Structure 1
């Protein structure tokens, strides 16, 4: 709490509380929006897919530019464009206009990612993984609160648009704070400091410090996982309520509550991960374990689609697939490629944006059979386990020498 960047960090996290709402707000208000746009559930799914297009358009470029021009402009731009999305959806009366604002939402998410993830790693250089995983806590908080709020609006027969208006108000306050008082470190300041320290110790120049990862092998693995991890939890967040209602024969309120259980699971995971990270458990050690758990949980929901199993496994899937594993993977990727955090953030989340675009299109075509949608997610989760296992093996191969050297130094210090 003594960190001078803490007020700015809190503001950054609040943007992701709103983002958590933005990810599922269209799906949670699907009935109302379909009527407003003169379409059906499949049409709303097409609009949801537009968020992935928006991310894909600007994410890689914005990541590179954030390394060059700093993080603050992209955070402010992201919050501003997100505000336009929430207002635009309320005012749109056709699927075409809604699709345009969906693209704007995807762009907003990209701007936020390219500025926020690198900024937090630079603000908290000794707790990079934890600071990034906390983002997921705020996303999960938004995803937990929205279904409950929408259920309240429906039960009270209150206009659905209040779920959008509240987000507009939060973003407006955040933008004002960020412009007036937001403080950010210099881009890649932590990497430069680490390189300078290494140069001082080993009498090497900063330019001689090389990335340990192989861009064509390790880079491709992380890109694949960026797609897979986003696809796994994005599919669940969009279709969980419908799966509970149609396959598990749950009522409207209880099926919507599945998303809240899922969000609680992701929140719990954030705190568990943060606690373990303080005990020197490395980010890499979580990846394959969490993906294996999510695969098993999804499989159980498919094999035993009862209300009880869906409720319990929604929590487990939230814990394992949406509790920050994607953010942990990004932190691990920054170990493989330590220079240019904005660029690698752009590359990693570009893969995720492709998932955000393609998954709703695939599932929209399968919307008549929700069991097939779930089977599709099980296959994706299985592939995720394979990829993270390979990443883990690569990590210990590349960093085995440095880890053993660190352990030897620690033992010498203790002696």
Structure 2
């Protein structure tokens, strides 16, 4: 009797769940998903959790294939040589193949006082910590949101719609991804909600105190509650485990998402740096990367050559409270187009996207292999970038690993 091939997936977010579900296409593959929480987090709804309009969690029974073993724990080290992982609880688990999908979280702000007095919301625990703080603050309390990206915009709009006095400090341009037409639309909506938007080179935060935010231009803003949405970081698990990473700590891989150090380790989602040219951190990238990572593992098990990455983008979706939003369309290479949908239709599109993400995961759980967005034709711009760059050499695949 042939022994099952054991695959461990580290991380139960968008990429990890997609990979775990897809790996169950083979009956002889035993999949273990290791995640620090017992529920799936809808990260793209965390700003709603902060504002009290959504819990931002889904039961794993809705999105995870029955038969995938869920281990609620944290991996503290990967031992590539021994093909095992060490858990925070003290146990160890062995694997034949490993999918590294640890995601991303808040970056160290490196701004005096930010760690002590500002509230990040990149994780479920952080968002839950902020919610009672806002509840305890008076209705007229000055709230400052730091960061002009989608999370900052969404959080500012959501809180302003509640009647909060919100200032959005961009530290640069409002919505840097957006086309200028889309940016104007977002600015109009925020102004209509009463959000004070501060952008430009003099709006970089230089210090945070218990009741104020200081800017590079010399201005000091009163702030009873400061929300920090600027920047993301990745866990340092790969680096701590002696695996090659980029400067941010993402696992370095080739274009099949295979680690440059070990052909039995593949990466997906925000924590992957294929050819040292990582994609934009987003669920839009994470789920196709999760599917591609699973396909790479399945190809190696079958003794076949894995297909390379073929990632395309549709744009960026940003909610602007519960009654408005914007869908910014983009070229397949993730550069914004002039065209966007805003207002109430934009809000409906954003909600459709949020629900579709969960549906895609649930559909893959019910019918592994059904997801196909990672195979949409495209990728010419990425191939040009690869020719212009000098990517790390792909990991070799010994004959013994093709069995």
Would you call these one fold, judging by a TM-score over 0.5? no
Q: TM-score, normalised by structure 2?
A: 0.29
More strand by share: 2
Q: TM-score, normalised by structure 1?
A: 0.28
With a CA cutoff of 8 Å and minimum separation of 6, indicate the structure with the bigger relative contact order. 1
